[in-house]
Structure 1
Amino acid sequence: MGGLDFSRRSSAAESCFVVVIALSLLLVTQVRAQNIGVGFYDQSCPRAESIVTETVREFNSRDATVPAALLRLLFHDCFVEGCDGSLLLDPSPENPDVEKAASPNLTVRGYDVIDAAKARLEVECPQTVSCADIVALAARDSAVLAGLNFQGLPLTMATGRWDGRVSSRNAAEAALPSSKSNVQQLTAQFSNKGLSQDEMVTLSGAHSIGVAHCSNFMDRLYDFPGSPNGVDPTLDPDYAAELQAKCPRGNPNPNTVVNMDPQTPFVIDNNFYSNGFAGKVLFSSDMALFNDFETQFTSDLNVVNGITWNQKFGNALAQMAAIDIKDDFDGEVRLNCRRIN
């Protein structure tokens, strides 16, 4: 175009430039791959963690259910393709069947919080902080905002994750535990992700905050197998009656929700375990922890010592957030959390 040919004059300079860029990218890649840990962004983006914290606090000030949503977001992300932000990807012509479309993920919330934090971080330090790290940090901040007490110490979260490029609806539906799973199924699913049964029981305590849709436990209220009145006999009768009033049979509103913890719905604590032994948890999978010999003892210990449970939960959260972390060969730092670069 235009008649002037700059190719010969610029070829040497371009070659030199390409080599410099390639070496720079290699150096960045090596640094990122080798230094996954607490404080990863101290040099490259010093305000990274505080920006995420500020964003989560803003959203929490407007909606007290945000911490529960963000903890669930991390769990649903990490259990499919690892902790790589694959759940954040929107459908595209190239991949219409992403994790978001899987039935367990249709009620996942918190994407707007991650988007807001990412937008601020791209202004602060472009192309530096991964979406996967934002999800992990937001979950950490959510636990703290909800009241997790780590004996006065800061709840740390390693960073340096890469964002994945793969997202599959089928993989999500196969990997995510069901609200009707038994202890053996739950133990196997967590074990497949490198988490112990004790960590599974401990992380279940996150159900002391947040809400659940009636559809997830309606069978326990009206159609429980073998029950003469249709009510799961492990449910406290008064609690079952309360739930039936909130979730009547044939409820025309599929969006009706109930607090997971009837006592302290916005405080993450070990009430989940005392509620379980009292027959006041919503999911069959949660109730199983208190009726199965394998997990009764661990659940009972978590009732007795809330301080120990807090410590265990913080440690288990960090362990979960390290599942199958991507490296530079199969990951990237997305510019937009909803699509690959």
Structure 2
Amino acid sequence: MAGLRYGRTNRATVAMASLLLAALVFQGHVQVGGVAVGFYDQTCPQAESIVTQTVREFNSKDPTTPAALLRLLFHDCFVEGCDASILLDATPQNPNIEKMAAPNLTVRGYEVIDGAKARLEAACPGTVSCADIVALAARDGAVLAGLNFEGRPLTMATGRWDGRVSSMSAAAAALPSSKSNVQQLTAQFGAKGLSQDEMVTLSGAHTIGKAHCVNFMDRLYDFPGSATGVDPTLDANYAAELQTQCPRGNPNQNTVVDLDPATPFVMDNNYYRNGFAGKVLFGSDMALFHDFETQFTSDLNVVNGVSWNQKFGNALAQMASIEVKDSTVGEIRLNCRRVN
């Protein structure tokens, strides 16, 4: 599906259709992109519970785990599809892997996938793909962080196969930048079959996690056309606080800041409130609240947190079905870090 461009006359209609679709999706099991809910019910009935338990254990030690797992899924699916290609380590035959691409250097969560895979291989050898573990772990992380459907479970289809290809250049080309504008983001998400509404909804994942200062320093000190150097769309007090946390010339490239200054570990729709208040870190996020195409959808997500929860779960499932592999081109890796 190509990225949608909303006009003045049909934006409300499209938004309402999205809400209705989201509500329908969570009434029962859904099959998306060749995968299906309950794929392992016969071959490894404990598969999902093993992944869930593993994620819970890591989350109990590190509350940033859910954000890391959601980002891991996103960075996997946008390159070669949802096939766990981001998990592959370098080899002499292929030193230039996805992990080495600049956008992936700060991706985390690999040890969670390794932990779940080890348990699954002990319980059901050669059965559960690494790609499915990545998708299930992202779902479980979102739920643990508070994504809520008023008692309805968040289902995630399974049945993916693991890919054998990992390319640094492909990752660098496919992954959106923190400085992208709405048109660029719409095109990149559209190329993966995701609508503009789904793009805005998935951006709400930035309600949890942290960001490295280097990714938004230009908005604090060197913004083009600004007399002060500060991006004028940033709230002045927030900008001053960020300058304290990310001083110019700080030699520590690992300094991080909460993406959501209010509820940094809770999956809620506060990201959209922050956006309209000028309190989001990335220029690509700020664009969603200042571009006519996406203002309306963003505003809907402020008004109704319950509908955003439903829409996010639906959009997450759609993203997790991007270009899934089957047995003709994939495999079930025994070790998620290398091909069989």
Is the structural similarity TM-score above 0.5? Answer: yes
Q: Structure 2 CA distance, aligned partners of 1:107 and 1:150?
A: 31
Cα deviation, residue 36, structure 1: 2.6
Residues 80-120 of structure 1: per-residue CA shift (max 9 Å, x gap): 00000000000001110010000000000000000000000
Report the equivalent of 1:148: 147
Question: Residue 177 of structure 2 contacts residue 284 of structure 2 at CA under 8 Å; is this kept in 1?
Answer: yes
Equivalent AA in structure 2 for residue 249 of structure 1: R
Report the equivalent of 1:3: none
Report the equivalent of 1:251: 250
Equivalent AA in structure 2 for residue 266 of structure 1: F
Residues 28-64 of structure 1: per-residue CA shift (max 9 Å, x gap): xxxxxx9730010011001000000000000000000
1:130 aligns with 2:147: no
Cα deviation, residue 150, structure 1: 1.4
Say which SS state the counterpart of residue 289 (structure 2) adopts: helix
Equivalent AA in structure 2 for residue 99 of structure 1: E
Task: Mark the CA change 1:261 to 1:296 in structure 2 (over 3 Å): closer, same or farther.
Answer: same
Equivalent AA in structure 2 for residue 118 of structure 1: K
Report the equivalent of 1:99: 98
Residues 191-242 of structure 1: per-residue CA shift (max 9 Å, x gap): 0000000000000000000000000000000000000010000000000000
Q: Structure 2 CA distance, aligned partners of 1:48 and 1:201?
A: 31
Cα deviation, residue 152, structure 1: 1.0
Task: Mark the CA change 1:231 to 1:35 in structure 2 (over 3 Å): closer, same or farther.
Answer: closer
Q: Structure 2 CA distance, aligned partners of 1:269 and 1:288?
A: 20
Report 1:199-278 matches (<5 A): 199-278=198-277
Residues 296-316 of structure 1: per-residue CA shift (max 9 Å, x gap): 000000000000000000000
Q: Structure 2 CA distance, aligned partners of 1:40 and 1:295?
A: 36
Report the equivalent of 1:51: 50
Equivalent AA in structure 1 for residue 129 of structure 2: S
Q: Structure 1 CA distance, aligned partners of 2:165 and 2:251?
A: 36
Residues 132-155 of structure 1: per-residue CA shift (max 9 Å, x gap): 000000000011000001121000
Between 128-137 and 34-43, the greater mean CA deviation after superposition: 34-43
Decide which structure has the larger Cα Rg and report it. Answer: 1
Q: Structure 1 CA distance, aligned partners of 2:34 and 2:143?
A: 25
Any runs of at least 4 consecutive aligned residues in structure 1 with deviations exceeding 3 A, and if so which? none
Residues 159-190 of structure 1: per-residue CA shift (max 9 Å, x gap): 00000000100000000000000000000000
Q: Structure 1 CA distance, aligned partners of 2:61 and 2:142?
A: 17
1:309 aligns with 2:308: yes
1:161 aligns with 2:160: yes
Structure of greater relative contact order (alpha carbons < 8 Å, 6+ residues apart): 2
Say which SS state the counterpart of residue 164 (structure 1) adopts: coil
Task: Mark the CA change 1:35 to 1:99 in structure 2 (over 3 Å): closer, same or farther.
Answer: closer
Q: Structure 2 CA distance, aligned partners of 1:310 and 1:54?
A: 23
Say which SS state the counterpart of residue 331 (structure 1) adopts: coil
Long gaps (5+) in structure 1: 1-33
Q: Structure 2 CA distance, aligned partners of 1:180 and 1:336?
A: 35
Report the equivalent of 1:30: none
Say which SS state the counterpart of residue 257 (structure 2) adopts: strand
Identity %: 81
Equivalent AA in structure 2 for residue 272 of structure 1: Y
Question: Residue 97 of structure 2 contacts residue 167 of structure 2 at CA under 8 Å; is this kept in 1?
Answer: yes
Equivalent AA in structure 2 for residue 146 of structure 1: A
Cα deviation, residue 252, structure 1: 1.1
Aligned-residue CA RMSD (Å) = 0.8
Q: Structure 2 CA distance, aligned partners of 1:35 and 1:197?
A: 23
With the length of structure 1 as denominator, give the TM-score of the two structures.
0.90
The size of the alignment, in residue pairs, is 308
In proportion to residue count, which structure has more helix? 1
Q: Structure 2 CA distance, aligned partners of 1:41 and 1:328?
A: 16
Residues 246-299 of structure 1: per-residue CA shift (max 9 Å, x gap): 000001110000000000000011000000000000000000000000000000
Question: Residue 35 of structure 2 contacts residue 321 of structure 2 at CA under 8 Å; is this kept in 1?
Answer: no
Report 1:61-72 matches (<5 A): 61-72=60-71
Q: Structure 2 CA distance, aligned partners of 1:69 and 1:260?
A: 13
Say which SS state the counterpart of residue 211 (structure 2) adopts: strand
Question: Residue 216 of structure 2 contacts residue 283 of structure 2 at CA under 8 Å; is this kept in 1?
Answer: yes
Question: Residue 34 of structure 2 contacts residue 324 of structure 2 at CA under 8 Å; is this kept in 1?
Answer: no
1:76 aligns with 2:75: yes
Long gaps (5+) in structure 2: 1-32
